[in-house]
Every structure is written in C-alpha cells, then in structure tokens.
Chain A
Amino acid sequence: MSTYVYAISASSHPALPDGMGGVGDPPQPVRILKEGDLAAIVSDAPEELRPKRRDLLAHQNVLAKAGRAGCALPMRFGSVAPNDATVTDVLAERTEHYQERLRALDGKIEYNIKASHVEEAVLHRVMAQSPELRALADASRMAGGGSFDDKIRLGDMLAAAVKAQEAEDAAEVPRLLAPVTHAVSVGPASTGWLVNVSFLVDGDSAGQFLAAVERARTSLPHLELRVNGPLPPFCFVEPTGTTASAGAE
C-alpha cells in the first residue's frame, strides 16, 4: 500500500491531526509516522488519486489543522511514497534540513494576494494620466463615437496603457506590503490575475499585515485585492528559489 504524504513537522508538535479524514473516498484516516525528532503526516494513498475537488480540499484541510497548533511543512498536493519506510527514510536522511525549515517557519503563516483591475476605474486612471488619451477620447466622443478605425485606435491605446498600469501595479502591491512581512514570493503572473504574491507573515502581526492590505486598497482603488490566508507556508518551504528577504531589495 503506497503512502500519501501531507506534511512534515516536529514530532513534538502539540496537536498532530491523527485520525482525521484525509484524501480518498471513503476518506483515508490520517496517521503519524515518527522518526527521531520529525514526524510525517500521512494516510494510505487511494487507488486512483486525481486532482478532484474533494481530495484537494481534504489535503488542504489536513494542512490547515496541522498548521493551527504548530509548524508543519506542507507537501505539494499528490505526493505519494511507495510505503511508510520510504517516508521515514527521507525524514532520517534530511533531518537537519527539515529541522532548519521548521525553525525558520515557526509561528509564521502565508497570505496570498491576488488582484485584478476594476475596468472602469482603471480606464479612468489611465485617462487621468495621459493628456493624449483624453484628447483622443474627446475627439471620439465629439464624432459620436467615431468610426470603427477610430475606435480600434483609441482601444489599442487604452489597452496599451492598461497593460503598462498592470506592470506598475504588479510591482506596487508587493512594495506596499513587503515592509510588514518576512518574505515575499511572486507567483505565476498570468493566470487570471495581474498580481499574485504570497507573503510570509508573523502569526502575531497578521493584524498589522491586514491593516496594510486595507491601506493598499485605499491607495489603489482601481484594483480588486483578494486576500487568502492564513495558509500553510506553501511558497516558503524551501529556502531558495523565488523567496526573497523582504528587507533586501
């Protein structure tokens, strides 16, 4: 029977989600594998594991429960080991590395922010910034909307301005929020949002972070900011890669 792995934590974690329902139908009960100072949160892997809603949610729920009472390093969805022994072998081999990560992430949570433009508001903004666009829009309006070609020309310029504004906003959001966080991880930029950034935040200063988000909402009213969190530190489990210290520009 292969083993589905949810997370790695310290074996001293005060409330491991032992017995909770995990992935699969019926849900496989969550078990804890301990190896020295480390523990793996696992369950039997279902025969046919697919990225279905139910299993994605089960994965997330186990991570949320594990992260509530202590630090846990979240595995990517769908991590399956051939058996329990492989899991404990990995824990034994890389004890030092995982302990370092657990120490580094102790008491910290991830917030993910996604933003998209509010169309009317962003058009207003780009017009406000460009006399050329305003002149063109005025001419178009006087001509009762203008010809097809006029509209295309105006629309083309507006689209270019909006795109430039996107790039500006993509940089501005992390700039506004980074000072109250430990680390910033910029996610894939082009999948339904113009900003997709995760922040590593001290659990104790989450209120401060959310206040900064509210200020950003006020100063960037043409953006719809969506906040998700607290999340397990998905983007910060490895020390290298896309993460960067907030202070180091």
Chain B
Amino acid sequence: MTVVPQQTGGGASSLYDVLELVVDRGLVIDAFVQVSLVGIEILEIDVRVAVASVDTYLRFAEACNRLDLEAGPRKSPGLPDMVGEITESGARGKSKGALSGASQTVSDAFKQARDERSGDEAEAEPRPRKPTAARRKEEQE
C-alpha cells in the first residue's frame, strides 16, 4: 500500500476536530504579526464543569438505574466483552451524554460566535458523524 490512509472526514466536516491545531499550534515567528482570533477563544470553555452539576448527577443516576446490571459486569466484574457488547448495541450512537453533549454546546457557542462575526458564511456540521458509522461498518467486516 503506497497511499497513507486518510482518516479525516475530509474538508469542512473535519475542520472542527483540528481547529485548535490550526489556530493554536504550528510555527510562530516573532517578526510576523499574528491575526487576532477573537471569537475563537470560546473554545477554551472547560466542559468538565458540566459534569459537576446537579443535572448531570440526576442524569447519571437515572441512566444507572436503567442499566441492566444482571446482564452486565456485576457477575463478572470488568469483563471487557460485556462492556463491548453494550457499546456495540448502540450506546455509541444514541447516548450523547454529558461529555459529548458539552462538546456540542461548545461547538454551538463557537458557531454562534462565528456567525455573529461573519453572517455571510454558510456553516457546516460541527462534528463529523459519518466516520463513526463507517468505522462501525469496518469493525463488522
């Protein structure tokens, strides 16, 4: 195989995931001026603040009550197959919880900030969804 496998969703859809690399990493040279990134600072929101909230506690407690412990790892703690099975059965897709939910909020805030600054820009999806589905398909093969 001569082609390096490309893992990004390509172009616009992957921009969000590498945004902080483009605007926060890379070579900086003192003799040059750096364009102000007002509006992008909002990315620095600490999403883990969201975990320490009453809403999260309640949601975790509810989610925990719904978990099928009899079928789960209680009888054989730490059995990875069991966790894997549950993950495969759809948790990956539907349980957008505290962490990814907060990520959504951040990207929404970011999008909003950007829209305010540049109303003429058509914005794409904040995060690529497709690669996850494609990946799952690969795993089945």
Interface of chain B: mostly helix, strand, loop or mixed: helix
Q: Mark A114-146, 1 if CB is under 8 A from B, else 0.
A: 101111110111011100001001101100011
Alpha-carbon gap, A90 to B32, bound state (A): 9
Task: Check A228 against B35 for contact (C-beta < 8 Å).
Answer: no
> Shortest CB–CB separation between residue A199 and chain B, in angstroms?
12
Alpha-carbon gap, A52 to B12, bound state (A): 12
Interface size on A, residues (CB 8 A): 92
Task: Check B84 against A78 for contact (C-beta < 8 Å).
Answer: no
Interface residues of A (CB under 8 A from B): 2, 5, 7-8, 49-54, 56-57, 59-60, 73-82, 86-87, 89-90, 109, 111-112, 114, 116-121, 123-125, 127-129, 134, 137-138, 140-141, 145-146, 150-152, 154-156, 158-159, 162-163, 166, 187-188, 190-194, 196, 198, 203, 206-207, 210, 217-219, 221-222, 224, 226-232, 234-235, 237-238
| 8 nearest CB pairs, A to B | A155-B57, A78-B35, A119-B97, A192-B103, A128-B73, A76-B26, A234-B25, A151-B61
> Shortest CB–CB separation between residue A45 and chain B, in angstroms?
9
Interface size on B, residues (CB 8 A): 89
The number of residue pairs between A and B whose CB atoms lie closer than 8 Å in the complex comes to 281
Task: Check B87 against A128 for contact (C-beta < 8 Å).
Answer: no
> Shortest CB–CB separation between residue B72 and chain A, in angstroms?
6
CB closest chain-A residue, reference B104: A192
A79-B32, A80-B32, A121-B87 in contact; A162/B51 too (CB < 8 A)? yes
Alpha-carbon gap, A194 to B84, bound state (A): 20
> Shortest CB–CB separation between residue B90 and chain A, in angstroms?
9
Listed residue (A50, A146, A152) with the most chain B CB atoms within 10 angstroms of its CB = A50
**B86: chain A residues within 8 A (beta carbon):** 120-121, 124
